[in-house]
Structure 1
Amino acid sequence: MMRPFDDATRRNIAKACASFTRAPDAAQPRALKRAAVAVALTASGRGSDTAFLLTLRASSLRAHRGQWALPGGRCDEGETPVEAALRELDEELGLRLGEDAVLGTLDDYPTRSGYLITPVVVWAADSAAIVPNPQEVASVHRIGLDTIEREDAFDFIAIPESARRVIRFHHQGSLIHAPTAALIYQFREVLAGRATRVSELEQPVFAWK
Structure 2
Amino acid sequence: MAEESRLERDAMVAALADFEYRELRVDGRRAAVAVAIGGAAGDRRMILTKRPSRLRAHPGQFALPGGSLDPGETAPQACLRELAEEVGLTAEPSDILGRLDDYGTRSGYVITPFVVWVGDTLSTMTIDPGEVATVYEVDAAEIDSDPRFVSIEESDKPVVQWPFRTSLVHAPTGAIVHQFREVVLHRRHTRVADFEQPVFAWR
Task: Kindly provide the CA deviation profile for residues 35-90 of structure 1, in whole angstroms up to 9, marking residues without a partner as x.
Answer: 0000000127xx84121000000122210011000000001112111111100011
2:42 and 2:13 mapped to 1: Cα distance?
Answer: 19
Deviation of residue 141 (structure 1)? 0.1
Offset, 1:148: 2.2
Instruction: Give CA deviations for 1:164-202 in whole Å, capped at 9, x if unaligned.
Output: 000001111111100000000111111111111111000
The one-letter amino acid paired with 2:36 is: A
Q: How many residues align?
A: 200
**Contact 1:5–1:48 (8 Å) recurs in 2:** no
1:181 matched to 2:174? The reply is yes
Q: Distance in 2 between matches of 1:60 and 1:40?
A: 25
Structure 1 CA distance for aligned equivalents of residues 23 and 147 of structure 2: 26
In 2: Cα distance, 1:86 partner to 1:39 partner: 11
Following superposition, the deviation at residue 114 of structure 1 comes to 0.5
Q: How far apart in 1 are the matches of 2:113 and 2:6?
A: 21
Instruction: Say what the alpha-carbon RMSD is for the aligned residues.
Output: 1.7
Q: Which stretches of structure 1, 4 residues or longer, exceed 2 Å deviation after superposition?
A: none
CA distance in 2, matches of 1:2, 1:180: 21
Q: TM-score, normalised by structure 1?
A: 0.91
**Which residue is 1:84 aligned to?**
78
What letter is aligned with 1:176?
V
Does residue 22 (structure 1) correspond to residue 21 (structure 2)? The answer is: yes
Matched, 1:194 2:188: yes
1:73 aligns with 2:67: yes
- Say whether the 8 Å CA contact 2:52–2:59 is kept in structure 1: yes
Quick check: 2:6–2:12 contact (8 Å CA) kept in 1? no
Give the distance between the partners of 1:95 and 1:39, measured in 2 at CA.
Answer: 12
Q: How far apart, in 2, do the equivalents of 1:98 and 1:34 lie? A: 21
C-alpha deviation, 1:4, in angstroms: 4.6
Residue matched to 2:109 = 115
Secondary structure of the 2:178 match is helix
Once the two structures are superposed, the pairs formed by residues 128-167 of structure 1 within 5 Å of their partners are 128-150=123-145, 153-167=146-160
| Secondary structure in structure 1 of the residue aligned to 2:133 | strand
SS of 1:12's partner is helix
Distance in 2 between the 1:73 and 1:88 partners? 6
Percent identity reads: 46
> Are 2:118 and 1:124 aligned?
yes
> Which residue number in structure 2 is paired with residue 207 of structure 1?
201
Show structure 2 runs of 5+ residues with no match: none
Paired amino acid for 2:66: G
Whichever residue aligns with residue 32 of structure 2, its letter is A
Which of 89, 100, 104 is residue 94 of structure 2 equivalent to?
A: 100
